[in-house]
Structure 1
Amino acid sequence: MKTPPTGTSRLLRDLRSLNVVVFHPDDTDGQELIAQLRRIGCRVKAFWPPRERLPEDADLVFLAVRPEVASFEPGWVKREDSPPVIVVVNYENPTMVESVLRMNASGVVASPVKSFGLLTAIVVARSQAERERDRLRYISKLEQRLASQRKLAKAKTILMQTRAVSEEEAYRLIREQAMTKRVTTEEIADAIINANDILSFEGKA
């Protein structure tokens, strides 16, 4: 029986299907970075200067931080589904550090780029990005669940007040309607809340 691949082995295996965007000047260092990525097996698209829009199939971005692009802050950097960014730096000062933080970088490699450490930087950056996406998805699901529970609680309160029933009976009525109409209890709760709001508004008119 084969052992299921670990997260690390999967990330390593996926390198040959990785679409990498390289924002780097067309100099010796940039050419070496591209050559090393291709030796690893990645598919590479290179541009300079950096673009405001990424290719749709981008899985990873390498970005050279240079003085002329220190203020570069494209919209895709802040998107939850944006690919991880590894910055390439050839100097250190407060402005550069600020640029790295602003790019929400998942990794940093020093220029001139060496083959040693590049593979690790890619795997770590992608692993961190996956964990962050998982964390955001988990938070989003929790928020949706809490919002649904609040709606359900409000709908039950409305039924309890308007029909003089218990909380248990109010919930039973909501579930019964949901099953009859083949919708979720949240949708029924929404309908109850909206109807109550309309009736309350008409009563005040």
Structure 2
Amino acid sequence: MTQGSSRTSQALKDIRSLKVVAIHPDDQDGEELRGQLRRIGCEVQMVWPSLDALPDGTDVVFLAVRPETLSIQFPWLDAKGTPPVIPVVSYENPIVIEAVLQLNPYCLVPSPVRSFGLLTAIAISLYQHKSKRTLEHYVGRLEDKLADQRKIQQAKTILMETRKLSEQDAYDLLRAQAMAKRQPIEVMAQAIIQAHAVLDF
């Protein structure tokens, strides 16, 4: 089995244990959605029309985008760690399309709901959501690293100006002080910056 097929197989297994919230009317289409999700193996909670907070452990949200939901605010949508949202769309007009775009979904499910495409929509949404979070984590680490480099550069500049050192000597002194105090060099750099700010006040 190739790595790609193994990954797909694992993803499909994971889907069978998902905790799904469906913000959808309890109508025929809602019953079809709930039934299909349960046949896949998901644990489903149906609510309508609003939901102030997602239940703990929610993996995926299905949201019926209808005229009566357009004015409803969902506070959890902008929260950190919000799971992927899959719109269920029964209308195609500019207002509904704009509402769907604001959800920033990876895919959608047309209404009336059918079995075909539902599993794929979940798999794509979960995969893309995981990829996005991995990228955000990577970018966050890069930003932290750049911030640390700026601190080190600022601390070196302070040492160069106050002690009349070359850039290399300033760095060597900074590193030596960090090693002597068993601290990361960026922590020592921050301490030098803060001390300089106090003395320069």
Q: TM class, shorter-chain normalised? A: over 0.9
Q: Does 1:175 align with 2:175?
A: yes
Residue number in structure 2 paired with 1:143: 143
Q: Give deviations 1:98-154, integer Å, cap 9, x for gaps.
A: 111112222211111000111001001111111111221121111111111111000
What's the secondary structure of 2:91's corresponding residue? coil
Residue number in structure 1 paired with 2:99: 99
Task: Report the CA distance between 1:6 and its aligned residue.
Answer: 4.1
Deviates more, 1:134-143 or 1:109-118: 134-143
Counterpart CA distance in 2 for 1:62 and 1:99 is: 14
Deviates more, 1:137-146 or 1:112-121: 137-146
Deviates more, 1:47-56 or 1:82-91: 47-56
Q: Give deviations 1:129-187, integer Å, cap 9, x for gaps.
A: 11111221121111111111111000011111111222222222222222222221111
| Identical pairs, percent | 52
Equivalent AA in structure 2 for residue 145 of structure 1: K
The gaps in structure 2 that reach 5 residues or longer are none
Counterpart CA distance in 2 for 1:22 and 1:196 is: 56
What's the secondary structure of 1:17's corresponding residue? coil
Tell me if the contact between 1:59 and 1:84 (Cα under 8 Å) persists in the aligned partners: yes
Task: Report the CA distance between 1:197 and its aligned residue.
Answer: 0.7
Residue number in structure 2 paired with 1:116: 116
Residue number in structure 2 paired with 1:56: 56
Calculate the aligned-residue CA RMSD, in Å.
Answer: 1.6
Task: Report the CA distance between 1:29 and its aligned residue.
Answer: 0.7
Task: Report the CA distance between 1:79 and its aligned residue.
Answer: 3.1
Tell me if the contact between 1:73 and 1:103 (Cα under 8 Å) persists in the aligned partners: no
Residue number in structure 2 paired with 1:129: 129
Counterpart CA distance in 1 for 2:55 and 2:73 is: 16
Q: Give deviations 1:57-77, integer Å, cap 9, x for gaps.
A: 111000001111113342322
What's the secondary structure of 1:50's corresponding residue? coil
Tell me if the contact between 1:73 and 1:102 (Cα under 8 Å) persists in the aligned partners: no
Counterpart CA distance in 1 for 2:106 and 2:70 is: 17
Scaled by the length of structure 1, what TM-score is found? 0.91
Residue number in structure 2 paired with 1:8: 8
Counterpart CA distance in 2 for 1:176 and 1:145 is: 20
The gaps in structure 1 that reach 5 residues or longer are none
Kindly report which structure 2 residues correspond to 1:188-199, keeping only aligned pairs within 5 A, or say none.
188-199=188-199
Kindly report which structure 2 residues correspond to 1:62-77, keeping only aligned pairs within 5 A, or say none.
62-77=62-77
Counterpart CA distance in 1 for 2:44 and 2:147 is: 43
Counterpart CA distance in 1 for 2:144 and 2:6 is: 30
Counterpart CA distance in 2 for 1:73 and 1:171 is: 52
